[in-house]
């Protein structure tokens, strides 16, 4: 239990540092390489956190006191673990309730456009009541299909899972909100590559498709809750195409590898325990009058795997 909590806190500390780095890099990447590269930068915090689960370094000699070795006092571990489980359940229930409410609104024709689901995502279109022209509805379909082709619902499910696991970390919830916004910006860019002459019509469609107060944890929707996200999306439609060279993907790859390496290097080392020889079987040799002994090695019981 103590090891689980220590690992969870270490992963959150490393992930939080990666989130702070992405908060800066995403703005630079969006201006230089476009919103699609900026969105892919959000893969770095989960990778950095996952790097803390890699096999730890070992050391020989005297014990080393590491600041990240024991973050949770042993006497408080049961209470902290119970609090974490309770928070996990509450956040998961809140996400499930929001999902159910969105689906209920969609069945009544009061939600959409959106993509709902993860394993078999499906499109939810707004009712054909004359609010959208045929051209606007075609752009909406192109937008939602782009989400499915890019596997954005799968990314959204990962975001929800991380919010549940790290419910106590406000940076994780901030990152989830901004990652979903960057996801929509990246999808806008993908649609406009296929419809370069529809920028003005696309901006008008965005204004019509605002979802006041809607929440969809498992899926993709046009999150225009508030003035700022909508302003960002419309403003990006007026910008020229971003740099399509390999510099953007190389930025993502280099930053991800560096973040994972630093995360692993920051992990506390574990003591090196040499293999302990043990007698497994011993039997007398009746013919020669000698004792035959088989020696094998086994890992010490307290050695960390």
Q: What is the average per-residue pLDDT within 106-110?
A: 81
Which tokens go with 296? 């094998």
Report the pLDDT value the prediction gives residue 6, as an integer from 0 to 100: 75
9 — pLDDT class (breaks 50, 70, 90): confident
Which tokens go with 264? 């692993």
Query: Rounded to an integer, what distance in angstroms lies between the CA atom of residue 220 and that of residue 149?
Result: 12
Per residue in 157-205, pLDDT (tens digit) is: 999 999 999 999 999 999 999 999 899 889 988 888 888 888 888 888 8
Dihedral sign of CA atoms 125, 129, 131, 132 in order: positive
Per residue in 261-273, pLDDT (tens digit) is: 777 676 666 655 5
Angle, alpha carbons 184-37-43 (nearest 5°): 85
Least confident of 41-45, 251-255, 258-262, 284-288: 284-288
Q: What is the average per-residue pLDDT within 52-67?
A: 59
Which tokens go with 280? 């497994």
Query: Rounded to an integer, what distance in angstroms lies between the CA atom of residue 140 and that of residue 206?
Result: 9
Per residue in 122-170, pLDDT (tens digit) is: 888 887 777 888 998 999 899 999 999 999 999 999 999 999 999 999 9
Long-range pairs, 15-18, Cβ under 8 A, ≥24: 15/45, 15/46, 15/48, 15/49, 15/166, 15/169, 15/171, 15/172, 16/169, 16/171, 16/172, 17/48, 18/44, 18/45, 18/47, 18/48, 18/49, 18/259, 18/263
18 — pLDDT class (breaks 50, 70, 90): very high
Which tokens go with 111? 């939600």
Phi, psi of 217 (to 5 degrees): -65, -50
Per residue in 169-181, pLDDT (tens digit) is: 999 999 999 999 8
Report the pLDDT value the prediction gives residue 238, as an integer from 0 to 100: 62
CA of 278: how far to CAs of 9, 92, 273, 302, in Å?
38, 49, 15, 16
* Residue 48, pLDDT above cutoff 50: yes
210 — pLDDT class (breaks 50, 70, 90): low
Averaged pLDDT score across all residues of the chain: 78
Report the pLDDT value the prediction gives residue 172, as an integer from 0 to 100: 95
Are 202 and 192 a contacting pair, CB within 8 Å? yes
Report the pLDDT value the prediction gives residue 270, as an integer from 0 to 100: 62
Query: Rounded to an integer, what distance in angstroms lies between the CA atom of residue 244 and that of residue 136?
Result: 27
CA of 7: how far to CAs of 144, 169, 196, 281, 288, in Å?
38, 14, 48, 39, 56
Report the pLDDT value the prediction gives residue 178, as an integer from 0 to 100: 92
262 versus 107: which is more confidently predicted?
A: 107
Per residue in 224-250, pLDDT (tens digit) is: 444 456 667 666 666 665 555 667 677
Residue whose tokens read 């809607």: 214
Least confident of 85-99, 172-186, 284-298: 284-298
CA of 181: how far to CAs of 58, 188, 280, in Å?
41, 11, 61
**What is the percentage of the chain residues whose pLDDT exceeds 70?**
69
Query: Rounded to an integer, what distance in angstroms lies between the CA atom of residue 262 and that of residue 47?
Result: 11
Which tokens go with 115? 């993509």
DSSP-assigned states of every residue in 118-137: SSS-EEEPPP-SSSS-HHHH
Report the pLDDT value the prediction gives residue 235, as an integer from 0 to 100: 65
């Amino acid at each position: 239990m103590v090891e689980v909590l220590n690992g969870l806190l270490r992963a959150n500390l490393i992930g939080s540092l990666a989130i702070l780095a992405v908060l800066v890099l995403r703005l630079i990447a969006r201006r230089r390489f476009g919103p699609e590269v900026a969105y892919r930068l959000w893969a770095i915090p989960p990778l950095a956190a996952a790097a803390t689960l890699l096999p730890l370094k070992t050391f020989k000699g005297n014990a080393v006191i590491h600041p990240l070795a024991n973050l949770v006092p042993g006497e408080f571990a049961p209470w902290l673990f119970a609090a974490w489980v309770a928070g996990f359940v509450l956040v998961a229930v809140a996400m499930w309730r929001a999902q159910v409410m969105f689906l209920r609104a969609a069945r009544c024709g009061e939600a959409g456009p959106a993509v709902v689901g993860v394993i078999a995502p499906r499109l939810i279109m707004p009712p054909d009541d004359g609010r959208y022209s045929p051209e606007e509805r075609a752009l909406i379909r192109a937008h939602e299909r782009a989400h499915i082709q890019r596997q954005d619902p799968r990314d959204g499910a990962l975001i929800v899972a991380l919010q549940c696991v790290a419910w106590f970390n406000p940076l994780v919830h901030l990152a989830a909100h901004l990652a979903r916004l960057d996801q929509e910006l990246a999808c806008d860019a993908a649609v406009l590559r296929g419809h370069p002459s529809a920028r003005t019509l696309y901006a008008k469609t965005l204004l019509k498709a605002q979802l006041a107060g809607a929440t969809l944890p498992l899926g993709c929707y046009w999150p225009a809750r508030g003035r700022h996200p909508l302003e960002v999306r419309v403003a990006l439609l007026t910008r020229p195409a971003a740099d399509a060279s390999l510099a953007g993907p190389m930025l993502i790859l280099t930053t991800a590898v560096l973040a994972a390496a630093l995360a692993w290097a920051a992990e506390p080392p574990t003591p090196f325990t040499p293999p302990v020889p043990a007698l497994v079987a011993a039997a007398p040799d009746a013919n020669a009058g000698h004792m035959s002994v088989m020696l094998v090695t086994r890992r010490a019981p307290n050695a960390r795997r």
